Homo-oligomer: A and B are copies of this chain.
Amino acid sequence: MSLRHAVLGLLAEMDGSSGYDLMRMFEVSLANVWGATQSQLYGELAKLTADGFIEVVEEGPRGRKAYGVTAAGREELRRWLTETAPKAVRRDEVLLRVFFLGLVTPEQREEYLRGRAAELAERQAGIEAVEEAVSWGEDDLSRYGRLVMEYGKRFMAMRREWMEWALRELEDPPTSAR
């Protein structure tokens, strides 16, 4: 139930946001760590309201609802952060496919890895664009967002290096039984 806490956390740091505001936040800053669709977000806002963790603090034009975290919501967030352990979900379709690369031709293997490397380069460019666009302040979200951003950079660099290594490995296999 992490989407719930992602919403709660975001709202705790940006009180008075609307679903639409949060959606953009998910797109730019949270995209790399926890994705959410618009549909999911609005649904979760409704559930959080029903559960008393957030409330509508203001209604604006176009039906805009600004939400705020309640005391119960803050407590829930604290509980989540300090009393529950994150579970590592290990699901990576890119790597899953590497497992089965023996089922295609050598050309397709190489094409695959090169394609993924290209995607990575795109994402790297994307993260750098965000880094420049965002005005990094001294608020908590900026402070910890920077840590996450640095992680993203290291992650992508690591993957790229691995892909280059894997390509070399395919070219020149280290056979013990040549």
Contact = CB atoms under 8 A, between A and B. Distances in A.
Interface of A: 2, 5-6, 9, 12-13, 29-35, 77-78, 81-82, 85-104, 108, 112, 115-116, 119, 123, 138-141, 143-145, 147-148, 150-151, 154-155, 158, 161-162, 165-166, 169, 173, 175-177
Nearest to A31: B90
B95 A12 contact: no
A103 B78 contact: yes
Contact of A155 (B99, B104, B158): B158
B99 A144 contact: yes
A32 B90 contact: yes
A102 B166 CA distance: 39
Contacts of A176: 138
Copies in the complex: 2
Given A81-B108, A98-B144, 8 more contacts: A2-B91, A9-B96, A13-B103, A81-B103, A82-B104, A86-B96, A138-B176, A158-B158
Contacts of A85: 115
A145 B78 CA distance: 40
A141 B35 CA distance: 31
Nearest to A177: B138
Contacts of A140: 101-103
Given A108-B81, A161-B154, A89 B99 contact: no
A167 B112 CA distance: 36
Contacts of A5: 96, 100
